A and B are shown apart, each in its own frame.
Chain A
Amino acid sequence: MGKLTDWQELSPGGVVAAGDAEQPSTGGWRTGLRPEVELSACVNCLLCWLYCPDSAVLLDGTAFAGFDYEHCKGCEICAFACPTGAIAMVAE
C-alpha cells in the first residue's frame, strides 16, 4: 500500500477514482513463490498474459517482456498455463 492518509484527507464517503488498481503494490501479498522465465523455451504464445488474474505479465508490443512483481501474487497460474514449461516458480 501507499502512504496511509489522515482522516482529514479522505474524500467524503471514501470516493475512489476509478482505474487506480495499479497504485497498491499487491505484490507484497505474494505467496513466497515468484514466476521466472527461461526465455529460450518461450514461444511467445502469451497464454500466461491471457490467464494472469492480476495483469502482472508484461508485454512489449506483442512480445512477452517479463513479470510485474509489484502486482504478481504468486498464484502459479502462468506456470500451469505455459505449454512449454518455460515458467518456473522460484522460492523467494
Chain B
Amino acid sequence: MKILVTVKRIPDPDENLKIAGGAIDTSSSKWVPNAFDEYAVETALRLAENVSDKKARLAEVVVLSICPKGQRQHITQFLAMGADRGIVVEADDTAMDSQTVAKLIAAVFKKEGCDLLIAGKLSQDTESNEVAQRVAGLLDLPQAAFAATLRWDSAAGSLSVAREVDDGVETKNLPLPAVISVDLRIVLPTSVHNGASPDDHKYQEGARLASLRGITMAKRKKVDAYSPADLGVEPTAKLRYAEITPPPARAAGQIVDSAQALVDKLASEAKVL
C-alpha cells in the first residue's frame, strides 16, 4: 500500500496578520506546516506502522507539497517525523487556484500509483476546504471528507471512516483507492485502527514529534522535485482575492462585578433577557 499525504506551508497562524494595501503582507512571516496536514501525516504513520513490531511496515508514506523552490523545510520536518519519501512540485502555490493544486496532486497520485490520499480538511490561512474533494473528482475516486476515525481492513482492501457531519457522525465504507480529508479528532489516542497494531493501543494525543534519530535520517531520505510542466499541468487562477481588509473591530466591552450586575445589564442595557 502506498499512501500519499499532501502538506501545505502557511504563514504562522499565531503571528499577527499584517494587512496593507488591500493584501496580506507575508514578507516577514514565519512559514509553518498547516496543522491539519500534521494531523494527516500522523494519520498515515499510524496506518503504516505496527506499534508492537517496529520493523513491520504496512505502507509507504509519501509526503507531497506544492511550494516555491527552496522552501521545503516542512517536508524535511515530516520526513523527520517518519514519512518515507518526499515530493515537491516547485511553484508559487499562492498564485494558483485550488483546481491547479488538485490537478498537480492528482497527477502525482497517478504517476506514483498510490492507494490512498490523505489531505487536511482545510488550509488554516485560505480556509478553502476544497482540495481533497477536487482530487477525488478528478481521479473519479471515492471520497470521505472530515474524517474523525479510520479503520483499515487490509484483507478486504477497504477503509471505514467516521466523518463529522453537521448533525452527528456518519460512518462510510470506501473501497481503495480513495481520497480522505482529516478533521481535528483524527489525532485523538484511539482514532486510527489498522488491524496490525493492537486494537486497544492508545497513541499520544496530537501529531508526534520528530526524534533525534528521525532528524538525522530525514537528511538521507529521497525528495523528488517536479515542475507543473513535468506533470502536464498548466496553472490557472480563476479565483482572485481582489481585496483583503481587517475585520471591523468590536466595540469595547465592560467587566461587571457580580452575577446580579450581569443580569441587570443583560436585561436593561442589552435587552436580551
Do A and B come from the same complex? no
